[in-house]
Amino acid sequence: MPKIANDVSALPDRRVMTTRREFVGGATALAASPNAMPACDGAATDPIIALIGEEKRWRLLAVAARARAETLLFALPKDERPEELDDHPIMAEALSLETRADEVYDHIIETPASTLAGIFAKLEWGEGDPEITKAVIADLRR
């Protein structure tokens, strides 16, 4: 009986011809090999990822509170506006949220990433900040 070949794309500009029997045989061999895929008890979580999410949440709340407060302050007549916006009592909520976000930021820098996903998340979140980059290098050395 002749082989019926299926056209399987390995790369966009390269075609690989294979039969269903060869494909299933390779997959069976891969699944049967104990070292092919390491056993896992579940997804490895890194505390950094949760901390980054928490920092983003506090930071977004702080930005929204500041925008609301500034809108109200700029609606005041010019002679009634405070010289420093941050000194006005209406800014207290925004400042407290910013302080909380800064505390979580510091905690992210101090907490070592325990997985490669945590390292990448920290680097992406830091966006080239030298302080974050130094923290990630320290995490890699542990």
Looking at every residue in the chain, the average pLDDT score rounds to: 78
End-to-end CA gap in the chain? 59
Which carries the bigger pLDDT value, residue 81 or residue 95?
Answer: 95
Asked if pLDDT for residue 104 goes beyond 90, the answer is yes
Asked if pLDDT for residue 14 goes beyond 60, the answer is no
Give the pLDDT confidence score for residue 134 in this predicted structure. 92
CA–CA separation, 82 and 85 (whole Å): 6
Least confident of 15-29, 68-82, 93-107, 115-129: 15-29
CB 29 within 8 A of CB 42: no
Residues 6+ apart with CB under 8 A from 10: 16
Which carries the bigger pLDDT value, residue 69 or residue 16?
Answer: 69
Give me the mean pLDDT over the 92-116 stretch.
93
- Among residues 3, 43, 37, the alpha carbon closest in space to that of 20 is found at 3
Percent of the chain scored above 70 by pLDDT?
69
pTM, two decimal places: 0.63
Predicted confidence band of residue 9 (pLDDT cuts 50, 70, 90): very low
Asked if pLDDT for residue 81 goes beyond 70, the answer is yes
Q: Which two tokens stand for residue 114?
A: 């325990």
Percent of the chain scored above 90 by pLDDT?
42
Give me the mean pLDDT over the 39-45 stretch.
59
CB atoms within 10 A of CB 31: 9
